[in-house]
Amino acid sequence: MMKEIIYRYMLHHGGISRAWKTREIADAFGLSAYQTRYYLICLSREGRLLRVVFGRGTPGVWKLSGVNL
């Protein structure tokens, strides 16, 4: 599944210390920002990601939660 691929990519290319913008992930996989956001939200609901910057008009910034690594 794509969300697993995204999660492993984030894990191996930055680990828990790096913050990722939705656009960075989207560009890495050739997905739209909306598709990528969907997968990132799914991972967040599973407790595997944390959204560290959020709000209307702000870019989504995500970090690995450190759980289930």
Could you tell me the residue ranges of all domains in the chain? 2-64
- Other beta carbons within 10 angstroms of residue 47's beta carbon come to 11
Q: What is the pLDDT, as a whole number, of residue 37?
A: 95
3-state class (DSSP) for residue 62: strand
CATH number for 2-64 (one of 1.10.287.40, 3.40.50.80, 3.40.50.12280, 1.10.10.10): it is: 1.10.10.10
Tell me the whole-structure pTM to 2 decimals.
Answer: 0.86
pLDDT tens digit sequence for 15-45: 888 999 999 999 999 999 999 999 999 999 9
